[in-house]
Amino acid sequence: MSCEHLICAHCSGPVSEGRCPVCRAARSDLHRGNHGLSIPYALVILLLAIAVILAIQHLAH
């Protein structure tokens, strides 16, 4: 998500300009790097997937 088209409810200015503390906080939240999964979560999902696959193979025999 981009902050280019967001309007601040506090100052009515574009969030991308960061005119007030609310704009700057919203902009930093959007640009903090919260894109997709983080590495620890991805590793947990991978390990769970491997465990499920191994359990299915064990039950099939």
Q: Classify residue 1: in a domain, yes or no.
A: no
Tens digit of each residue's pLDDT (9 = 90 or more) over 27-50: 888 777 655 667 888 899 999 999
In a domain, 34, yes or no: yes
| CA–CA separation, 32 and 39 (whole Å) | 15
Range of the domain at 42: 15-60
Residue 23 lies in a domain: yes
Q: Give residue-wise pLDDT tens across range 6-17.
A: 888 889 888 888
pLDDT at 56 over 90: yes
On whether residue 5 sits in a domain, the answer given is: no
CA-based nearest residue to 26, from 40, 7, 46: 7
Cβ neighbors of 21 (< 8 A, separation 6 or more) are: none
Burial class (CB in 10 A: 0-12, 13-18, 19+), 57: exposed
Q: Are the C-beta atoms of 33 and 18 separated by less than 8 Å?
A: no
Q: How many structural domains is the chain composed of?
A: 1
